[in-house]
Amino acid sequence: MSIPAVSAVTAGITPVTGTGYLSPASGTQAASGAGFASALGSVDQLQKLQSTTDALAVKAVTGTLTDVHDYTIAASESKLAVELTAAVRNKAIDAFTEIMRMQA
């Protein structure tokens, strides 16, 4: 009975890579304020999603929308983004409240 080498077993396994959606936090970002700027960029992205959804809703009402699925998808994405933003905001407020309760 022969046992293959570890390198032979792991040769066909590809490593898992990140999607790039969430970048690891670095000290330089926090010190320079880039983290806050990227958070504002996320809010801008949310606003763009809502604007697209509103524009598609107007097209659907006026009858110029060729594919109703576009509006449905945009509305779902917008709703999910708003819910995610609200959940993150609520967690941040909870964390702030918990920090304020700590005794020095």
Token pair, residue 52, equals 């697209």
User: Higher confidence at residue 64 or residue 22?
Assistant: 64
Q: At what angle do helices 34-62 and 68-101 cross, to 10 degrees?
A: 150
Mean pLDDT computed over 69-76: 93
- Is the pTM higher than 0.75? no
